[in-house]
Amino acid sequence: MHLFLVGISHRTATVELRERVDFQTRGLASALGALRARGIAREAVVLSTCNRSEMYGVADDPASARLAAVQFLSEYHGVDRSEREPHIYSSADGDVARHLFRVSAGLDSLVVGEPQILGQVKEAHGAATLAQTSGPLLHRLFHSSFGVGKRVRSETGLGAGAVSISFAAVSLAKKIFGELKGRSVLVIGAGEMGKLTALHMKSQGVQQVTIVSRTMANAVRTAEAIGGASAAPWHEMTTLLGTVDIVISATGAASPILTKAQIEAVMRPRRNRPLFVIDIALPRDVEAAAGEIEQVFLYNIDDLQATVQENLARRASEVQRAEAIVTEEVEKFGAWMRSRNAIPIVVALRQRFDAVRRAELDRLAAGLPPETRERVDDITRLVLEKLLLTPTEQLKQIGDPEVVSAYAETLTRLFALSTPPAETESARPEPPARSDRRVEPFVRPQKR
C-alpha cells in the first residue's frame, strides 16, 4: 500500500495554467466522484486552492497510479497533456508526507507562512471524508499534517508579522489603538490604494469611513464602492482631522496637502488623542515633519514596505526551524507507515489462533447453556488477545520490510498460516493494541 501525489502549483505553472486545472470550478465532490469512478486509487483527497491543484492517493502500484492520475488531470480539465505535463510534479510515500506537511505549515505557499492554507487542507480532507474517498491512510496523513501546521504556527515565528502593505497598516493600527471596533477613518483621495486600505480597515471592524476628494463625485463613488462609507467635501478635511483616529492619504497631488502646522492645530482640540497617519501617496501627501508631533504616528509607503520586508526576512529566518518540525513529523509518520508492514502477518496470526479457539469452543462447550457458553467465549477471547499482545507490538515495531518478511515466513511455517489477500488490509481496522474489556469471573450456573 503506497501513497502517491500528483499536482501542479505556483512553483511549476503560471496562473493561466493553474486556472485551467482548478478543481474548485466544478466542485471537489465532482472531482472525487470522477476519480473514484476511474478506480485510480483506493483512497483519494483533492486539494485545490488558487495556488495549487493536487491529488493525494493510496495505491498498490504508485507508478501506474501516478500515470493514471496525470492522465485524469488532462482529461477532467480538457487540457492537452503535452501542454501541462512539464508543469506537473509527482511523488510517492515519504515524499508525499513531507510535501503535504510543508504545504500545511505554509512553507510551500507563495507568501511563506500564510495562514489560510491550513484551513484549505482541512476543507479538502473534509470533502473527501464526505465523499467517502478518504480511508485510514490518508486520514492519518492529513490529521498529521494539521498537527504539523499547528505546531509550526505555535512554535516558530513563520506566520508572524504582516507581509502586505495593507496588512502592515492594519496591524500597526491595532498596535496603537487595540481593537479597531468603533474607530473612525478618514480617506483623503478617491484612488484605488486608499480604497483598498480602507476596505481592509472596515473588514477589521472600523465603524466609520469618510472619503474626501477634491471632486465630490469621485468621493461619493468611492464611498459607495466601499459600502457603508460616507463622502465629505474637500473643505471639511481639517474639521474631520480633529475627530478621526486614522487618516489614509492617497491623492495624486504634486505637493504635500497636509502640513505639520495643520496637524499640530488639530491636536489641541483632540486633547492629543493618538492619530495614525498612513501616507501611501507618491509623491507624499503629508509633510514628513508632522511625524515629530507627540501622539502622531506617521507612516509612508516606504516605511510600510520596510516593515513588510523586515517581516519577510524574519519569516525566512524561521524556515529552518519549521523544516526541522516537518522532518520530525515525517519521521513519526514514516514509523507509523512501517508499522503497517506487519499488519498482514498479525492479522493472519490472529485469524489462525481465533479459528483454533472457535473450533475447540464448538467441540468442548457444545453442551453448555448459552449463558455459560458466552462466558467461555469471552474468557478465551481475552486470553488470546493477551497472549497475542506482545508479539503484535513487537512485529509492528520492526521497521525494515525484509526483517518483517523473514518473521512472516517463520510464523507462517510455525503456525501453518495463510496470509490474507493484500487488498483487505488497509480497510480492515487494526487489532486493538490492548483490550480494555473486562470479563466477569466465571460463575457456574446453578442447576435448578
Partner 1 sequence: MNFVPLALYSAALIAYVWHFTARHPAVGRAATTLLVFGALAHTFVVGMQTMEVGHIPVTNAASAISTFVWLLALAYLYTEMTTDERAMGAFILPLAVGLQSIPAFKPVIEQRAEVLQGPLFGVHVSALLFAYASFALAGVIGVTYVLLFKEIKAKHLGFFYARMPSLQVLDTMNYRAIVIGWVFLTVGRLAGFVLAGNSPSYDPRLQAMSLQDPKIFVALVCWAIYSFEAFAARALGWGGRRSAYLSALGFAIVLLNFVPVSYFLTNSHNF
Residue (180 or 417) nearer to partner 1, CB: 180
Cell of 23: 478543481
Q: What are phi and psi of 208, to 5 degrees?
A: -130, 125
Does 448 participate in binding partner 1 (rule CB under 8 A)? no
Residues in the chain, overall count: 448
Does 402 participate in binding partner 1 (rule CB under 8 A)? no
Q: How far is the CB of 37 from partner 1 (least distance, A)?
A: 47
Cell of 259: 502640513
* Residue span binding partner 1 (CB under 8 A) among the ranges 8-16, 262-270, 279-287, 430-438: 262-270
Residue (130 or 313) nearer to partner 1, CB: 313
Rounded CA gap, 448 and 434, in Å?
39
Among 76, 89, 297, 336, binds partner 1 (CB under 8 A): 297
Residue (94 or 291) nearer to partner 1, CB: 291
**Helical ranges in 13-111 per DSSP H:** 15-20, 28-38, 62-77, 81-84, 94-105
Coil vs helix vs strand at 14: coil
Rounded CA gap, 92 and 100, in Å?
11
50 is catalytic: yes
Dihedral sign for Cα 296, 302, 307, 308, please. Answer: positive
The active-site residue, picked from 17, 29, 34, 50, is: 50
Q: How far is the CB of 266 from partner 1 (least distance, A)?
A: 12
Rounded CA gap, 142 and 119, in Å?
12
Rounded CA gap, 56 and 50, in Å?
17
* Residue span binding partner 1 (CB under 8 A) among the ranges 13-21, 133-141, 289-297, 365-373: 289-297
- In angstroms, the Cα distances linking 293 to 28, 127, 257, 269, 297 are 55, 55, 17, 14, 8
Among 307, 339, 341, 392, binds partner 1 (CB under 8 A): 307
Rounded CA gap, 45 and 21, in Å?
15
Among 203, 230, 272, 410, binds partner 1 (CB under 8 A): 272
Lay out the site mask for partner 1 across 159-198 (x = CB under 8 A, - = otherwise). -xx----------x-xxxxx--------------------
Residue (170 or 229) nearer to partner 1, CB: 170
Cell of 18: 493553474
Residue (157 or 391) nearer to partner 1, CB: 157
- In angstroms, the Cα distances linking 196 to 169, 187, 190 are 11, 11, 10
Judged by CB under 8 A, the number of residues near partner 1 is 26
Q: How far is the CB of 264 from partner 1 (least distance, A)?
A: 12
Rounded CA gap, 426 and 1, in Å?
8
Residue (182 or 432) nearer to partner 1, CB: 182
* Residue span binding partner 1 (CB under 8 A) among the ranges 27-35, 49-57, 296-304, 366-374: 296-304
Does 273 participate in binding partner 1 (rule CB under 8 A)? yes
Q: How far is the CB of 272 from partner 1 (least distance, A)?
A: 4
Lay out the site mask for partner 1 across 129-158 (x = CB under 8 A, - = otherwise). -------------------------xx---
DSSP-assigned letters across all residues of 313-349? HHHHHHHHHHHHHHHHHHHHHHHHHHHGGGHHHHHHH
Residue (41 or 180) nearer to partner 1, CB: 180
Rounded CA gap, 408 and 410, in Å?
5
* Residue span binding partner 1 (CB under 8 A) among the ranges 49-57, 304-312, 350-358, 412-420: 304-312
Does 306 participate in binding partner 1 (rule CB under 8 A)? yes
Characterise 119 by phi-psi region: left (phi > 0), alpha (psi -120 to 50), beta (else). Answer: alpha
Coil vs helix vs strand at 185: strand
Q: How far is the CB of 150 from partner 1 (least distance, A)?
A: 12
Characterise 309 by phi-psi region: left (phi > 0), alpha (psi -120 to 50), beta (else). Answer: alpha
Q: How far is the CB of 295 from partner 1 (least distance, A)?
A: 5
Q: Are strands 275-279 and 246-249 parallel, antiparallel or unpaired?
A: parallel
- In angstroms, the Cα distances linking 127 to 134, 240, 403 are 9, 50, 38
Residue (60 or 155) nearer to partner 1, CB: 155
Q: Which residues bind partner 1 (CB under 8 A)?
A: 154-155, 160-161, 172, 174-178, 267-268, 270-274, 291, 294-295, 297, 299, 303, 306-307, 310
Active-site residue list = 50
